[in-house]
């Protein structure tokens, strides 16, 4: 059988691209797999084809497309219309446009992407939807309207699956006696950076200034005003010595921050899955998170989920530091969530089972 994986962009240090790469590795065991995308940063182990070759494959009878849907993609929709067989959509969520009211291009792309989702549902009623979380479909009112299975993405884009550590970074984190908090996510309005600063401010008020938050994530020129608002709030709250904006880092530094931090703090307002939470759990890092969107579904049982009171987060972080029994229980529950649901083997089994439900012997 021939599989064609389709997504607008494949790039390094990107969670969806990692999911595509690992899907390719899984399906290549028994089948031929090709990739079509418009924007491609070379990744080892995957074969890319151009639009003409993709058209030829889709027009045949033996090609099975897996369309990764996470943004508006006109060319992908055009090519998909050429297929003669059934289609699998791997749905990673499209952010609600309201978060990008001050970023016109993104606002329009989010609207168009969500409209495209409904169009796909109408045009391909026999398609299967593999969704990272049930939240993704429920958010659009589609959970009862499409043939679907919840199939989480392959997790490991941090490089935690074998990258060498940055020993200097890890040594610095482990020898510094401050409480080290970590957040990983691109600088975008729905990621909750401003609330993260409120949490750090409250922690300093209640428990002292020996705290530092490391923010790792790609900066986007389109969201420059949001980035400026973060920097302005750091100054306003007097947090310049308690917040470190690191930008995008390589895999060895990233995994070193996961291993050397004391807690992972996530205050994101909208997530379709939230891979860094699972990565933190896999590396024995306790998580304190905002109970929004798909985060409760992803984080699992026995974890610290909170609302919109910054003081409550500060208290939870302090308790993780002061109460070793509580800390270890939180870590154990997170690690169990990872082992039972999100290891490579578990995800691969879930993926292949879902394709089997569609009649594909893979």
pTM of the model: 0.95
Flag whether 160 is in a domain.
no
pLDDT of 180 strictly over 70: yes
CA pair distance 45, 22, nearest whole angstrom: 9
Flag whether 315 is in a domain.
yes
Whether residue 234 is found in the same domain as residue 299: yes
Whether residue 83 is found in the same domain as residue 181: no
**Portion of the chain with pLDDT greater than 70, in percent:** 96
Which of 67-76, 79-88, 170-179, 235-244 comes out lowest in average pLDDT?
79-88
Whether residue 113 is found in the same domain as residue 140: yes
CA nearest neighbour of 357 among 152, 154, 147, 153: 147
Flag whether 97 is in a domain.
yes
CA pair distance 43, 253, nearest whole angstrom: 20
In the structure encoding, which two tokens stand for residue 91, read together?
A: 């749905």
Question: How high does pLDDT run on average in the chain?
Answer: 94
CA pair distance 52, 215, nearest whole angstrom: 42
pLDDT of 241 strictly over 50: yes
Q: What pLDDT, in 10s, does the model give residues 314-348?
A: 999 999 999 999 999 999 999 999 999 999 999 99
> Tell me, what's the pLDDT at 42?
62
* CATH number (domain holding residue 107): 3.40.50.2000
Q: In the structure, what pLDDT confidence band is assigned to residue 60 with cuts at 50, 70 and 90?
A: confident
CA pair distance 6, 50, nearest whole angstrom: 11
Whether residue 234 is found in the same domain as residue 188: yes
Which residue matches tokens 């884009």?
Answer: 157
> Tell me, what's the pLDDT at 44?
63
> Tell me, what's the pLDDT at 43?
61
How many domains, in total, are found in the chain? 2
Flag whether 319 is in a domain.
yes
> Tell me, what's the pLDDT at 285?
98
Whether residue 113 is found in the same domain as residue 43: yes
pLDDT of 307 strictly over 60: yes
Whether residue 107 is found in the same domain as residue 212: no
pLDDT of 12 strictly over 90: no
User: In which order are the strands placed within the sheet that holds 2-6?
Assistant: 32-36, 2-6, 63-69, 88-91, 128-131, 147-150
Whether residue 176 is found in the same domain as residue 68: no
Whether residue 236 is found in the same domain as residue 126: no
Residues with Cβ within 8 Å of 52's Cβ and at least 6 positions away in sequence, in order, are none
Whether residue 178 is found in the same domain as residue 283: yes
Residues with Cβ within 8 Å of 20's Cβ and at least 6 positions away in sequence, in order, are 5, 7, 10, 35, 46, 68
Flag whether 348 is in a domain.
yes
Q: Residue 302: give the domain boundaries.
A: 167-341
Which residue matches tokens 């090609």?
Answer: 63
How far CA 103 is from CA of 22, 213, 226, in Å, comes to 32, 27, 10
Whether residue 36 is found in the same domain as residue 58: yes
Whether residue 142 is found in the same domain as residue 186: no
Whether residue 175 is found in the same domain as residue 68: no
Query: What are the φ/ψ torsions at residue 168 (nearest 5 degrees)?
Result: -65, -45
Flag whether 150 is in a domain.
yes
> Tell me, what's the pLDDT at 159?
44
Flag whether 24 is in a domain.
yes
Calculate mean pLDDT across residues 169-189: 97
Q: What pLDDT, in 10s, does the model give residues 129-162?
A: 999 999 999 999 999 999 999 999 999 854 444 5
C-beta neighbour count of 252 within 10 angstroms: 16
Flag whether 162 is in a domain.
no
CA nearest neighbour of 73 among 110, 41, 18, 24: 110
């Amino acid at each position: 059988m021939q599989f064609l994986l389709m997504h607008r962009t494949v790039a390094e240090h990107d969670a969806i691209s990692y999911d595509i790469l690992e899907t390719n590795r899984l399906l290549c065991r028994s089948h031929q797999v090709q990739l079509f995308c418009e924007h491609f940063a070379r990744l080892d182990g995957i074969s890319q084809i151009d639009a003409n070759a993709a058209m030829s494959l889709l027009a045949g009878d033996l090609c099975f497309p897996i369309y990764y849907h996470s943004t508006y993609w006109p060319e992908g929709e055009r090519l998909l219309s050429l297929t003669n067989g059934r289609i699998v959509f791997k749905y990673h969520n499209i952010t609600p446009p309201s978060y990008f009211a001050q970023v016109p291009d993104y606002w329009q792309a989010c609207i168009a992407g969500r409209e495209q989702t409904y169009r796909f549902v109408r045009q391909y009623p026999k398609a299967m939807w593999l969704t990272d979380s049930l939240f993704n479909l429920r958010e659009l009112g589609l959970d009862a309207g499409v043939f679907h299975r919840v199939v989480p993405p392959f997790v490991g884009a941090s490089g935690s699956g074998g990258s060498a550590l940055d020993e200097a970074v890890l040594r610095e984190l482990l020898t510094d006696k401050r409480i080290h908090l970590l957040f990983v996510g691109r600088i975008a309005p729905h990621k909750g950076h401003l609330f993260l600063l409120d949490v750090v401010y409250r922690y300093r008020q209640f428990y002292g200034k020996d705290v530092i938050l490391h923010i790792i994530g790609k900066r986007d020129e389109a969201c420059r005003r949001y980035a400026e608002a973060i920097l302005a709030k750091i100054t306003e709250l007097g947090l310049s010595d308690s917040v470190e904006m690191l930008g995008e880092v390589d895999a060895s530094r990233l995994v070193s921050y996961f291993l050397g931090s004391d807690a992972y703090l996530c205050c994101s307002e909208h997530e379709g899955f939230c891979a860094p939470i699972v990565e933190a759990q896999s590396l024995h890092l306790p998580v304190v998170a905002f109970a929004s969107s798909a985060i409760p579904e992803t984080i699992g049982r026995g974890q610290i989920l909170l609302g919109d009171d910054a003081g409550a987060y500060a208290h939870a972080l302090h308790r993780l530091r002061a109460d070793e029994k509580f800390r270890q229980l939180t870590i154990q529950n997170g690690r169990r969530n990872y082992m039972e649901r999100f290891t490579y083997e578990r995800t691969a089994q879930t993926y292949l089972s879902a394709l089997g439900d569609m009649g594909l012997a893979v």
